[in-house]
Amino acid sequence: MKRKVIQIAESTQLISLPRKWAQEHNIKKGEELDVSERGHTLIISTDSAPKTMEKSINVSGLLPRLIDRFLARAYQKGYDKITFYFNTEEQMMAIQRKVPELLGFEIMAHTKNKCTVQSISSTLDIDFDSSLRKAFRIVIEMAEICLDAYTKGDTAALENVEHRDLDVNKFCYFCLRAINKYKLFDGGEATMLYYLIESLEDVGDDYKALGKSLALIKQKNPRFINLLKDLLDMTRKSYDFFYDPKQELAVSIFNMRKEAEATIEKSLLTKDINEVKALLSMKSTVSILYHYPTMRLDTIKEMDVKE
């Protein structure tokens, strides 16, 4: 949008605030706003709480899994209160199971065919950065468990990997909500981060599936142990690159992906269905982790050329 500069006296210049933005953030006359400079850009921000978003929805015609997805997306988009109307116990159970993954949300009212889920706190004692780091580290822990438990034949530990995925979901969902609701990042940066955080949540899903498949494999496969070591190394390096982008890490992750995919392709000749499932989970994880350096190569400072 464009705004004309208004000249007041000799030294003061003004521009008007977009009406929609001012209404969303409840900006009133005399209120103080933060103004910061970033090169040729001025950033105007406010500490006031964003406008409360509410929605009532009839989910009677949806499958429980779709209700699960709807609730997750509504939370991520920034809704603060959602009232559900349903007609089966399974639909209500889907809501009850999902709410614990939504930080700051609780079921506040519940009748036979209706329930209300809403935020119980406008501010939580966690922030975006610490939540994202936590999600990353849990994913690394899942990779460590898969390797260690498969090597030792610990099926119970492999089956329990799925419980760590719930924590990954919790912190990733919170970060996605923060991006949407609090406008923490601008334009392309917000889009890129959103994609990478959703991808991280997908990696958690892949490790959960991998743990289940590995637990069902009867005979230990040495090739799988080497693949799991590479997968753990690639996960750690993706984390390292995200927070400290370096050219050598990007090259290493790229080469590891090629080698891992080649090994996975050869291994898919197995007739063991559980081995096939495990290999497909590994292949998906490798493909996603590859995006962490390739989509942010522009952040590698050592590649910059000063002319």
| Percent of the chain whose predicted confidence (pLDDT) is above 90 | 76
Tell me what the mean pLDDT of segment 75-80 comes to: 96
Q: Which residues contact 38 (CB under 8 A, 6 or more apart)?
A: none
3-state secondary structure of 69: helix
In our burial notation (b when 16+ CB lie closer than 10 A, e otherwise), range 216-245 reads ebeeebeebeebbebbbbbbbbbbbbbeeb
| Fold of the domain spanning 128-303 | Methane Monooxygenase Hydroxylase; Chain G, domain 1 (1.20.58)
CA 130 to chain centre: 13
Q: Is 83 exposed, middle or buried (0-12, 13-18, 19+ CB in 10 A)?
A: middle
Secondary structure E strands in the chain: 6-8, 12-14, 34-38, 41-45, 54-58, 81-85, 105-111, 114-119
* Percent of the chain whose pLDDT exceeds 70: 96
* 56 has a pLDDT exceeding 90: yes
For residue 105, what are the β-bridge partners? Answer: 119
In degrees and rounded to multiples of 5, residue 109 shows phi and psi of -150, 145
For residue 44, pLDDT over 70 is answered with yes
- Concatenating the DSSP letter of every residue in 184-239 gives -S-HHHHHHHHHHHHHHHHHHHHHHHHHHHHHH-SS--HHHHHHHHHHHHHHHHHH
Q: Is 118 strand, coil or helix?
A: strand
105-152 per-position pLDDT tens digit: 999 999 999 999 999 876 566 789 999 999 999 999 999 999 999 999
pLDDT greater at residue 83 or residue 42: 83
pLDDT number for residue 228: 98
Q: Which two tokens stand for residue 248?
A: 């050598």
Residue 64 or 3, more confident: 64
41 pLDDT band, cuts 50/70/90, is confident
Give the pLDDT confidence score for residue 122 in this predicted structure: 60
Please tell me the predicted confidence (pLDDT) of residue 164: 97
The residue ranges of every structural domain in the chain are 6-45, 54-119, 128-303
> If phi over 0 gives left and psi between -120 and 50 gives alpha, with beta otherwise, what is residue 122?
alpha
In this predicted structure, the answer to whether residue 53 has a pLDDT above a threshold of 90 is yes
CA angle 120, 125, 131 (to 5 degrees): 105
Long-range contact pairs involving 124-129 (C-beta distance under 8 Å, separation at least 24): 124/174, 126/174, 128/174, 128/175, 128/178, 128/179, 128/184
pLDDT given at position 86: 98
221 pLDDT band, cuts 50/70/90, is: very high
Check whether domain 54-119 has CATH 3.30.1370.110, yes or no: yes
